[in-house]
Structure 1
Amino acid sequence: MTITVQPRLTTAELVARGPFDLDASARFLAAFTPAARPGAAAEEGVLRMAFPVEGSWEHAGALIRRRTPGPDVGSGAPVEVSVQGAGSSADVAIGQVRRILSLDVDGSGFEDVARGDPVVGALARRYPGLRPVQFHSPYEAACWTIVGNGRPMSQAARIKQRIAERHGVEVDVAGVPLASFPAPEVLAVLDGELGLPVQKVERLHAVARAARDGLLDAGWLRSLEPDEALERLQRLPGVGPFSAQLILIRGAGHPDVFPLDEPRVHERMREAYRLPEATPAELDRLARRWRPYRSWVAVLLRARHA
């Protein structure tokens, strides 16, 4: 049974370092299958989301709006974030929004990378101001991998949304009700109600315990060397190399990890660079020219074929 979080607004301004376009983020999220929800659509100048806040796991709603009319992809483009329902965790929730939109990363050097690589330059021109929009947290990214393994993405998205609606919390975000995914302590005790195979339920319980114990904290994961973070993530049952990379890149928002186990990115690279026989190791070496934005470029390559 869901409950409605009572409004309690905390507002802050987020300023991008480097190009950023909120409308591009909204369009990206609307087309991002794991974020699928009924009636989801890009709304000009506005983005809404609801999520459990890392650490306290209080539920929050966030309304993100442009501060200036019309699209602005230039450096310093400001957005206003109004967070409600997070209680004492409002500042953490605002920081979480900053990470979700990749505004916690200094993107001012991305144009230099684009100028130095014709493929990246073409992507930057095609998607001006687009930064990766992340999962709400590594916890939600890990749950997505468990739910989605072995299923079509569209089916997994419906299951994840159903779990949020039945077992999460409904947050009214400026007149739009959104289902926030259940907090770890809730997920950890759900069993048959999830409607999933026993093995997947057990793996979700393990993810919930890891999140509760701080082992999926985004800041902590990003403080580690990527290889160490990936190795630790793979200690979770059901999390292999592909899933670990997804959690680190799209959950914790690490900006500079090349997805060695992401075949679709490799296919896009081979096509874009006209290297049909390139091995993953060769593509990894090629991607070093994208540093320190290897994750960002990989996401743009995927977006090109979304």
Structure 2
Amino acid sequence: MTPSVVHRAVLTAAPPYDFALSVRALEGFGPMAGEHRVADGCVRRAFAHPDPAKAAAGAAVVAQVDAGPTGGVRLAVLAAAPLTAAEAAAVEQAVAGWLGLADDLRGFHAIADADPAMAPVLRVARGLHQVRFPSLSEATIYFTLTQRSTQWFAGARRRRMAAELGPSLVVDDVVYRSFPSLEVVAGLDDETLRGYAGNAQRAARVREVAAGVAGLGETWLRVAPYCDARTALLALPGVGPFTANALLLRGLGRPDEVPLEMRQFRLTAEQVYGTPPPTPAELRARYGPHIGWWSYITRTAAAWREGPEEVQAVREMVRSSPSPGS
């Protein structure tokens, strides 16, 4: 059956929000390179079908988004068959989570506006919400694959798993693929998983982490007190501080903590504040539970600070684009 638009909605976003900045952040999101298409101000990407049985059978939906009329995004969902109301709502929730639409950054901006060193960052990044991994499964496998490896190899292995195991949908002659569930990855036989992971040790670690995170449950990890969720993740074999914090921030949008002692975050602080930068303790004291937003926005906008003209060009493209499905 030829896919068609089966659902439309306008998704609201917590202000300030600028869809053009989401588009720019997506284009620079290396771990997810090649998994979405940007054209004429619209973005398309696949999500697993919200019915787990259909997703397990290989079904996916494609979400197409562009700038909404009142600061959010317009959504058109393409699928091979109609969705129930509950399924459509689940896709809306998945898309909103992917784009971080509900993230309340008012507390972060109140602090950052009083931080003079942040002025150049906010000049190009005000309205940026965190673009996340589209599923906790994808974040879990990617960050596990980066352990004792490089981001390039981890990304390549993640893309191969999506291409060969993920639910998919063909729209306008383009194959859009989502990522297999944690349960699917954990259930792979040793030889198959070793082929994706690169060696037996990494395969065993991927299986342990996938099964462990699945056992904790995405819902619980979203709503449990942050300290409890982080402690539970750290108790899993194969999960260290970086992976635990990465899953909570980049997978689930929980900004309470960042391992600022790591080199990449020290370099970011130096870019913003100069040398010597504030210590991790000083940054945590200043930004409190918003430290994750400080980390994401400063690191994402680091390459944007040469000037706002590129962002303006994206905004002009977004404003002139047709509505999804038209």
What interval of TM-score do these two structures reach, taking the shorter chain for normalisation? Answer: 0.7 to 0.9
The answer on 1:47 being equivalent to 2:47 is no
- TM-aligned CA distance change 1:202 to 1:272, over 3 Å: same
**Larger radius of gyration between Structure 1 and Structure 2:** 2
How far has the Cα of 1:248 moved from its partner? Answer: 0.4
How far has the Cα of 1:51 moved from its partner? Answer: 2.8
The gaps in structure 1 that reach 5 residues or longer are: 69-75
Counterpart among 73, 77, 88 of residue 83 in structure 1: 77
How far has the Cα of 1:130 moved from its partner? Answer: 1.4
How far has the Cα of 1:20 moved from its partner? Answer: 1.4
Q: Measure the CA separation in 2 of the matches of 1:296 and 1:108.
A: 11
- TM-aligned CA distance change 1:118 to 1:42, over 3 Å: farther
Which structure features the higher share of helix residues? 2
How far has the Cα of 1:251 moved from its partner? Answer: 0.3
The gaps in structure 2 that reach 5 residues or longer are: 304-326
For the residue of structure 2 that corresponds to 1:27, the secondary structure is helix
TM-score normalised over the length of structure 2: 0.78
Show the counterpart of 1:122. Answer: 120
Q: Measure the CA separation in 1 of the matches of 2:127 and 2:171.
A: 25
- What letter corresponds to residue 142 of structure 1 in structure 2? T
How far has the Cα of 1:53 moved from its partner? Answer: 6.2
Show the counterpart of 2:257. Answer: 257
Q: How does 1:52-201 map to 2 (within 5 A)?
A: 52=48, 56=52, 58=55, 59-68=60-69, 76-85=70-79, 88-173=86-171, 176-191=174-189, 192-194=191-193, 195=195, 196=197, 197-201=199-203
How many residue pairs get aligned? The number is 290
Conserved? CA contact 1:148–1:156, under 8 Å:
yes
- TM-aligned CA distance change 1:222 to 1:33, over 3 Å: same
The answer on 1:273 being equivalent to 2:273 is yes
Show the counterpart of 1:237. Answer: 237
Conserved? CA contact 1:18–1:110, under 8 Å:
no
- TM-aligned CA distance change 1:182 to 1:128, over 3 Å: same
How far has the Cα of 1:7 moved from its partner? Answer: 4.8
- What letter corresponds to residue 23 of structure 1 in structure 2? A
The answer on 1:301 being equivalent to 2:298 is yes
Q: Measure the CA separation in 2 of the matches of 1:157 and 1:241.
A: 20
- CA offsets per residue over residues 179-225 of structure 1, 9 Å max, x none? 11112332223232341222222233234434544x241x4223223
- What letter corresponds to residue 68 of structure 2 in structure 1? R
How far has the Cα of 1:264 moved from its partner? Answer: 0.7
RMSD: 2.8
For the residue of structure 1 that corresponds to 2:129, the secondary structure is coil
- For CA contacts below 8 A with separation 6 or more, give which structure has more relative contact order: 2
How far has the Cα of 1:239 moved from its partner? Answer: 1.2
Counterpart among 202, 205, 210 of residue 203 in structure 1: 205
